[in-house]
Structure 1
Amino acid sequence: MDNEAVSITTADGGSIAARLFPAAEARALVLLHPATAVTQGYYEHFARWLAGLGLHVLTYDYRGTGASRGASLHACTVTMADWMNEDVGAVTRWAAERFPALPLLAVGHSVGGHAIALSEDSERLRAAVLVASHAGTSRLIQGRRERLRVRFVMRVLTPLLCALFGYMPGRRIGLGEDLPASVMRQWSRWTSRPRYFFDDPTMHAERRMRRQRLPLLVLGFDDDPWANPDAIGMLVAPLANARVERRQIAPKDAGVPAIGHMGFFRKRCAAVLWPQIGDWLLERAA
């Protein structure tokens, strides 16, 4: 079955471009929340694979990115917090209204996992998977070279390029998709703080996370310098009332040369790693 283009409206009047990958006889619907500067097309193979298991899958682009970019990034004032607070809630509510008889599940990649942990609409979910989600403070990045590179991008390039272009030209400098300046500036501030967005008093992150009670599968990979065990631990520590299951995976155990922060959703991981999520989701759907 082919996918369906969907337009979802946020509570503040914004527009989100999404795609629904239908299953022949759906047992649940999976929301796939993307990483920063990653568009929904990156997850298409994984979405189609899940649909083959009997799960509807909804992919989408955060506002200011991909098909939700809009006419001009210069005029876009959406923030990373807006993605978590508004965009994720909007797609969750849309799915619950469109398929009221189906259990709702979610997979969040990096910031998509943050959103699951923070969103009050996660109460509508039966269970969720966090893939390479971590507290993104730069001090916890493994490897001195990578830590210095990220600090240079966030503290030097971000203010310079956002002032020069009016947005973050990620494509030009090999950082994925272009992003609104408001997203990059907030992200930059969080990375410079010892406890990431937990040190942002406007986020109320710990209080919001303590409300979550759903089952969570949290995946980390040994060759990911960002979402390393310490950074993942900082993110999930406030989820004291959720049922958290952590798995740390080495590339050699998956039969692949590398996984890193982005590799789980590549087709080379389909044979060994994707069934770990697929089986877990199907068990919760039942």
Structure 2
Amino acid sequence: MSTEATLEFAAADGYRLSGSLQTPVAPPRAAIVIHPATGVPERLYLPLARFLAAHGHAVLTYDYRGIGRSAPPSLRGFDARMRDWMEQDVAGATRVLSARFPGVPLLAIGHSVGGHALGISEASDSLQAAALIASHAGYIGSIRGWGERMRVRAMLMQFGPLLVRACGYLPWRRLGLGEDLPAGVAREWIAWCRSPGYFFDDPTLRAQERFAARRLPLLVLGFTDDPWANPRAIGALVRHFTHCAIERREIAPADVGAPAIGHMGFFRQRFSDTLWPQLLAWLDAQLQVAPLPARSAAAT
């Protein structure tokens, strides 16, 4: 049994974010924050959050700034970048969860860019362990399948900049691709996707340095029918976690008796008896392991 409550909290820079907190009836064994993917509202993650809470964990889900309930009435003129999600919003979510449950081990689950944030954000230093779900370096040339690669190139690289200039934001929702994206988020994301090294080629982000500073166990899940987070693209991201203990798993839909999983499917309720228990078992196992020591400033 657990309870669910709406929660408003401040990002590290003070921007107000909206989320939901699942709290088990008994004192939680761990507190888990779920960091979402690009343009994905927190409601996708609520079924998994409720599942984890039913198994004794407090769980925070939330929307990044400019997305879902954390968006202003209009995205025109709204100032936000993708790095703000990873630096400011992730830090705020981690901080509020830690404050709500002092002394309770902190865990995190990052979906796609939410997994990127676990490498970028210094808030990861407070985590005992984390799971990356379908997280990959987003260089467009790494997308598997010629047709899908050309489709994404057209939608993101060709029409994306035009739509941002015309609308003042990226109207993703009208195209059936997710929530609308703030202009700054879209521009930064498109620029990174053009580069073979993704955001590791952006010197202003210091991504390689930041990833190398992380020291925690990571579960990295990929799915064989995901054209974006394919083994090559996942490897291009996680190889930068040079001081983390990494367990990688590549799961085929047939392994869990499903026709498809893809980039988004893991979080669907239909996997509550197959994929979710695997994640739960790994997270619970990390609570029995002493945390890795944080790296010193000199070591980074």
Q: For the aligned residues, what is the CA RMSD?
A: 0.9
Match of 1:151 in 2: 153
Match of 1:106 in 2: 108
Paired residues of 2:86 and 2:116 also in contact (CA < 8 A):
yes
Match of 2:30 in 1: 28
Q: Shift of the alpha carbon at 1:180? A: 0.5
- CA distance in 2 between counterparts of 1:141 and 1:222 reads 13
Q: Deviations over 1:18-73 (max 9, x none)?
A: 11011122101110000111100111111100001100100000000000001221
- Opposite residue 7 of structure 2, the aligned amino acid is V
> 1:117 pairs with 116, 119, 123, which one?
119
Match of 1:59 in 2: 61
- CA distance in 2 between counterparts of 1:70 and 1:21 reads 25
- CA distance in 2 between counterparts of 1:10 and 1:88 reads 7
Paired residues of 2:5 and 2:20 also in contact (CA < 8 A):
yes
Q: Does 1:204 align with 2:199?
A: no
- CA distance in 2 between counterparts of 1:59 and 1:253 reads 28
Match of 1:8 in 2: 9
Q: Shift of the alpha carbon at 1:210? A: 0.6
Match of 1:86 in 2: 88
Match of 1:188 in 2: 190
Match of 1:262 in 2: 264
Q: Shift of the alpha carbon at 1:193? A: 0.4
Q: Shift of the alpha carbon at 1:77? A: 1.1
Paired residues of 1:10 and 1:16 also in contact (CA < 8 A):
yes
Q: Deviations over 1:129-155 (max 9, x none)?
A: 000000000010000011011111121
Q: Does 1:249 align with 2:263?
A: no
Match of 1:277 in 2: 279
- CA distance in 2 between counterparts of 1:97 and 1:115 reads 20
- Opposite residue 157 of structure 1, the aligned amino acid is F
Paired residues of 1:20 and 1:57 also in contact (CA < 8 A):
yes
Paired residues, number = 286
- CA distance in 2 between counterparts of 1:218 and 1:117 reads 13
Q: Shift of the alpha carbon at 1:75? A: 2.5
Paired residues of 2:200 and 2:206 also in contact (CA < 8 A):
yes
Between 1:88-97 and 1:104-113, the stretch displaced more is 88-97
> 2:168 pairs with 154, 166, 169, which one?
166
> 1:128 pairs with 130, 134, 138, which one?
130
Match of 1:223 in 2: 225
- CA distance in 1 between counterparts of 2:4 and 2:231 reads 36
Paired residues of 1:256 and 1:268 also in contact (CA < 8 A):
no
Q: Which runs of 5+ in 1 are unaligned?
A: none
- The SS at the match of 2:61 is strand
- The SS at the match of 2:138 is coil
Q: Shift of the alpha carbon at 1:12? A: 2.1
> 1:238 pairs with 237, 240, 246, which one?
240
User: TM-score under structure 1 normalisation?
Assistant: 0.98
Q: Which runs of 5+ in 2 are unaligned?
A: 289-300
